[in-house]
Amino acid sequence: MAETVPSLLAQGAAATRAAAHLPPAAHLPSVAHLPLAAHLPLAAHLPLAAHLPPAAQSADATQSATRPAAEGFDVVVVGAGPAGSAAALTLARAGVRVCLVERGPFPGAKNMYGGVLYGRVLDGLLPGWWQEAPVQRWVTRRATMVVTPTQSLTVDFRTTAWGEPPYNGATVYRSDLDAWLAAKAEAAGAVLLCSTTVTGLTRGPTGQVTGVRTDRPDGDLPARVVVACDGVNSLLAKEAGLYRHPEPEHFTLGVKEVLALPRQDIEARFGLAGREGTDIEILGCTGDVPGGGFLYTNLDTIAVGVVLQLPGLASSGRRPEELIAGLKAHPAVAPLVVGGQLKEYSAHLIPEGGWDMLPDLAADGLLVAGDAAALCLATGIWLEGVNYAIASGAAAGEAAAAALASGDTSAAGLAGYRHRLESSFVLADFKRLRRAPGLVLSERVQRRYPQIACNLVERLFTVDNPNPKPRLLAAGRAELRRSAVRARDLARDAWTALRAFG
Ligand SMILES: Cc1cc2nc3c(=O)[nH]c(=O)nc-3n(C[C@H](O)[C@H](O)[C@H](O)COP(=O)(O)OP(=O)(O)OC[C@H]3O[C@@H](n4cnc5c(N)ncnc54)[C@H](O)[C@@H]3O)c2cc1C
């Protein structure tokens, strides 16, 4: 039978001392099968109650009648991505005994994204975050480009305001960001356990979640609440039956190359100075596969990639690397990336179904946050997941702490989580933008409208003397006829867009 955490904590103090204050890089695969206790910081070997600040100790005492005998942690958070670290930080600050479990050898080791963090969500959690966050560049130029194989049309916005505190968006490497956020949770008192994969949930006689199973020979982790922040395709949310209709069309595959270029070349190509950065979102660049592209600047690398709807990718028979190669060869993109040395190639699923794919957010003893709860917003002009992950992780942490304090960790006791999300930007955005993912991935938005827009502008700016200047309305009608878009469909799409974005 698996040993409990308290017995493990009692055993391994000596082994732990050495590992206690090593940086994330020290949690490498070579130590992956040391006993569980060997990964816990020194402080974890004190009696568990010693971790609780005075206020939480008294709250704890009032709960003793309603809680089972103290074993392990109050909360296990699975996954040290942005959602998990925000949850663990919030819980630790509330004086809750929390373990943050990560399968990678250090937080961020396995994670990828396009590259922009929208930091406003950190203002409350980590005031003045911009002074120490591991930022590459501050995004001061934001462009949305529509392309056809031979044309491009860009709305290119710049502002100096985003280059000053409190900033707006920043390009950040995930290995840096995730390690930084997890270190904040650790500093607040959370126990970070790396190189440990959670393989399932443990349950009590009534079905209530009572902890997690891990891939360690010695390590089930009992807990009164589990917060699943295990990312897209969450094993734990699925095991708990929280997803009713996971449809393949709700997922895209994000594929990214990181290309190294001298810093001065990047600044010259993108018109940047100092720490200024660019974010370009691209529509119409994925051929017959619904999706989109992106291009972000880091200090001395460029991230370029595509997101590809799964069923469309499968039926196209095309490879993601072909589609990135096509994007890099596009006449509007090639001059920006030429000569870049490939440093990294990575791929990851993205939950893009929005409101329609959201799972139940709680079960008895279980909450789910971040990508695990499909809280990633992909609406063409916005691809944001990290800020929703942080907000939902923090809300899950608050709700779990409140449920522990009330002694009710059933789904009803944890319902405060959904209320918190409903009264924040998280579910407000998902609800309002519920029709956006379907619209953006539709064939008209993917291919026909970019073609119409590019042709129209080409016509407008082509000087065709001795013919007189074209009339815009007439040219628009001619383009619509040529592309076989029916007025009815155009009106319906415009109405959907207005309702979503208006
Ligand atoms: C190509 C691409 C581009 C993107 N671009 C952006 C962007 O520019 N800006 C933005 O805001 N968002 C972007 N996103 C979305 C963003 O990456 C996610 O929404 C965000 O990472 C979600 O955070 P999370 O903490 O919920 O999950 P993740 O970041 O996926 O973290 C989950 C963590 O759980 C761990 N884990 C998983 N299973 C287990 C297990 N069984 N046991 C232990 N640990 C486990 C993982 O190792 C990982 O550390 C992009 C995504 C992709 C794929």
Give dist(CA 378, CA 433) in Å, integer: 9
Query: Which atom of ligand 1 approaches the CA of 197 most closely?
Result: 42
Q: Which of 325, 354, 383 is the last residue of a domain?
A: 354
CA 365 to each of CA 95, 140, 342, 415, 462: distance values in angstroms, whole numbers, following the listed order: 18, 43, 45, 11, 64
Q: Which of 354, 383, 411 is the last residue of a domain?
A: 354
CA angle 487–488–493, rounded 5-degree value? 95
- Could you tell me if 88 and 192 lie in one domain? yes
- Ligand 1 neighbourhood includes 115 CB (under 6 angstroms): yes
Angle between helical axes of 425-432 and 386-406 (0-180°, round to 10) = 130
Pocket test for ligand 1, best of 198, 201, 383, 425 (most atoms within 8 A of CB): 383
Report the nearest-CA residue for atom 38 of ligand 1: 230
Q: Locate 166 and state its tokens.
A: 């409190």
In this structure, what DSSP letter does residue 358 have? Answer: -
Considering the domain boundaries, does residue 236 fall inside one? yes
Provide the whole-model pTM: 0.88
- Could you tell me if 365 and 479 lie in one domain? no
Give dist(CA 352, CA 434) in Å, integer: 11
List the one residue out of 170, 168, 167, 177 whose CA is nearest residue 112.
177
Q: Which amino acid is at 282?
A: I
Q: Structurally, how many domains does the chain consist of?
A: 3
Q: Which residue is listed with tokens 């009572």? A: 210
- Could you tell me if 80 and 159 lie in one domain? no
pLDDT tens digit at each of 502 positions of the chain: 333 333 323 322 222 222 232 333 333 333 333 344 444 443 333 333 333 333 333 333 333 323 333 457 999 999 999 999 999 999 999 999 999 999 999 999 989 999 999 999 999 999 999 999 999 999 999 999 999 999 999 999 999 999 999 999 999 999 999 999 999 999 999 999 999 999 999 999 999 999 999 999 888 999 999 999 999 999 999 999 999 877 899 999 999 999 999 999 999 999 999 999 999 999 999 999 999 999 999 999 999 999 999 999 999 999 999 999 999 999 999 999 999 999 999 999 999 999 999 999 999 999 999 999 999 998 878 899 999 999 999 999 999 999 999 999 999 999 999 999 999 999 999 999 999 988 998 999 999 999 999 999 999 999 999 999 989 899 999 999 999 899 899 999 999 999 888 8
Considering the domain boundaries, does residue 20 fall inside one? no
- Could you tell me if 312 and 270 lie in one domain? yes
List the one residue out of 302, 303, 321, 304 whose CA is nearest residue 313.
321
- Could you tell me if 74 and 196 lie in one domain? yes
Pocket test for ligand 1, best of 78, 111, 258 (most atoms within 8 A of CB): 111
- Ligand 1 neighbourhood includes 102 CB (under 6 angstroms): yes
Q: Which amino acid is at 492?
A: R
Exposure string over 21-42, b if 16+ CB within 10 A, otherwise e:
eeebeebeeeebebbbbbbbbe
- Could you tell me if 265 and 340 lie in one domain? yes
Ligand 1 centroid to 404 CA: how many Å? 27
Ligand 1 centroid to 462 CA: how many Å? 45
- Could you tell me if 349 and 369 lie in one domain? no
- The whole domain housing 449 covers 442-501
- Could you tell me if 286 and 310 lie in one domain? yes
- Could you tell me if 276 and 288 lie in one domain? yes
Answer yes or no: are the C-beta atoms of 203 and 106 closer than 8 Å.
Answer: no
